[in-house]
Amino acid sequence: MMMMAAAAVRRRGTEAFFIGSQIQRCQMKIMGMILLLSPTTLSLLSTNHSNSISSSSSSSSSRYKHCNDASLLRNIDDALSSFNHMLHRKPLPCIIQFNKLLSAIVKMRQYYDAVISLSKQMELAGLSPNTYTLNMLINCFCQLQRIDLGFSVLAKGIKLGLQPTIVTFNTLTNGLCKVGKFSQAAELFDDMVARGCQPNVQTYNAIINGLCKIGETAAAARLFKKMEEAGCQPNVVTYSTLIDGLCKDRRVNEALDIFSYMKAKGVSPDIFTYTSLIKGLCNSSRWKEASAMLNEMRSLNIMPDIVIFNVLINTFCKEGKVSQAQGVLKTMTEMGVEPDVVTYSSLMYGYSLWMEVVEARKLFDVMITKGYKPDVFCYNILINGYCKATRIDKAKQLYKEMILQGLTPDKVTYNTLIHGLCQLGKLREAQDLFKNMHKNGNLPDLFAYSILLDGFCKQGYLGKAFRLFRTMQSSSLKPDLVMYNILVDAMCKSGNLKDARELFSELFVKGLQPNVQIYTTIINGLCKEGLLDEALEAFRNMEEDGCPPDEFSYNVIIRGFLNHKDESRAVHLIGEMRDRGFIADAGATTW
């Protein structure tokens, strides 16, 4: 049943995993020893918990109050005291009583290592675990992201004659999916079916979720159909997971079909279903449908939360529709939903996009007034807004302010400021900031180097640009096509065609495949120098190198031929260009 899902994940290059062989290996490993006494397991145990257990044991007579009902335990200390009392009773309580106690500790959601330690003590006291005990232990190891030890527990259970249940397989499946081992989860699913253990809705949900997370939504949809064919009815989690995966894959129409099918089957959508659909519709610019979906959920008394409102506001702002975003803000406040840092950040970004940095700053100040502390992301939005508005002094002021607030500027902060300074020709300040990145442990990335390189080139400092380029080559970062294009273009414009040619040839030596942009740049430089034969040769090489010339490339070389009175070859290229469906611009058709 799951072979198609397993095949889907295997296509992504993940190692195949066979549970049968894993169990055999585990059984060999535990021969002649008790699993829970292994050094690996002991290393997981918290020193604090071990100390608590021993101290509880030594002082239980003086401070112990035994709790017969595990559900009434208030904290870990009560649980440890109760465990020690039970362990010293003669005769020992049955395994069911111990399981209830361990289950109560598991529900505290933070003492998984303590449960492993206590189960070891139970075995030393002669208590034999049952399937429920082993399932709990598998869950603890999965929560600690030690799935390998979870499988060891499974092997131990089989060796003891305990049969794995659907809970066992579901726990391991969920554990594998949580750590991204989807191929192994798929193989475990197949093994489970082969053993005659029928998957339930939780099993299917875990695998469908895993497939969606790695972009295998088609396989997830096929498994969804298989699930129904096997008589296992999908629940709201199944539908919502698949809908979310399809929306993230921009297959919104299919998601809407599943949504309609879900309602037809009598399964009521929840807030997560609507959130995924609204986000998917917004990302596809289907605003009216997103608004209709919002109204539909409200009519069903499913009140939108801050997440849904933030999705709408963020998407509107990214599209530059700030007035619509403000309308959503008004609706949410009328419904009693208070905006948060994400809300304000999205609106600030929207205003900055339209160069309305004053409005963005007002929102920034309102956010602080309401008690929200701006994060690095908020500062970066506003710094970018000021840089775009060429108000670099305000941007630098914010940079200093964020440091005083105890925030550490990130690469985005530095890159934005360096770009703003370069745009204004303040290269010395840009260089100083570039050096500060190193000092503050924020190593410049390719983008930072490209910004400074472009700044040097535009200001005519080709020597500095070339030295920066070679410095980068000697570091762990290697220049990309963007950087080569910046330098080649600058060399061509300055008439230094010799160096431009050498840089272009260097691309092939470095294993970089020239793109249309850099080919067009070198062709333009050759045409300007009157080297038309060489320009045409480079133009023809584009096709051979797998990057056919575009409309702009044709116009550049045609203008080059016309400027040097080579009309016959220009006319031939114009005809060739039109055959490809391109349009020659005015400069390439007038002579």
The pLDDT tens digits of the residues spanning 198-227 come to 889 998 998 898 889 888 899 899 999 989
CATH at 508: 1.25.40.10
Whether the full predicted model's pTM is greater than 0.95, yes or no, is no
Domain boundary among 163, 179, 213: 163
pLDDT, tens digit, for every residue of 367-376?
A: 999 999 999 9
Model pLDDT, residue 53: 40
Q: Tokens at residue 379, please?
A: 């500062």
Are 330 and 341 a contacting pair, CB within 8 Å?
no
3-class DSSP state for residue 91? coil
Q: How confident is the model at residue 73 (pLDDT cuts 50, 70, 90)?
A: low
Question: 490: closest CA among 513, 468, 450, 521?
Answer: 521
| Domain contains 235 | no
Domain boundary among 143, 163, 183: 163
pLDDT at 189 > cutoff 90: no
Domain count, the chain: 2
| Domain contains 353 | no
pLDDT at 15 > cutoff 70: no
More confident residue, 187 or 274: 274
Domain encompassing residue 130: 75-163
Helices (H), 389-496: 392-404, 411-423, 427-439, 446-458, 462-473, 481-493
| Domain contains 470 | no
| Domain contains 409 | no
pLDDT at 242 > cutoff 80: yes
Q: What CA–CA distance (Å, rounded) separates 525 from 71?
A: 80
| Domain contains 134 | yes
Rg (Cα) of the chain, in Å, rounded? 33
More confident residue, 591 or 142: 142
| Domain contains 581 | yes
Q: Quick one: average pLDDT of 439-465?
A: 92
pLDDT, tens digit, for every residue of 473-514?
A: 888 888 999 999 999 999 999 999 999 999 999 999 989 999
The fraction of the chain above a pLDDT of 70, given in percent, is 86
| Domain contains 255 | no
Q: What CA–CA distance (Å, rounded) separates 48 from 580?
A: 74
| Domain contains 207 | no
Model pLDDT, residue 357: 94
Q: What is the mean pLDDT of the chain?
A: 85
Q: What CA–CA distance (Å, rounded) separates 546 from 516?
A: 10
Domain boundary among 115, 144, 163: 163
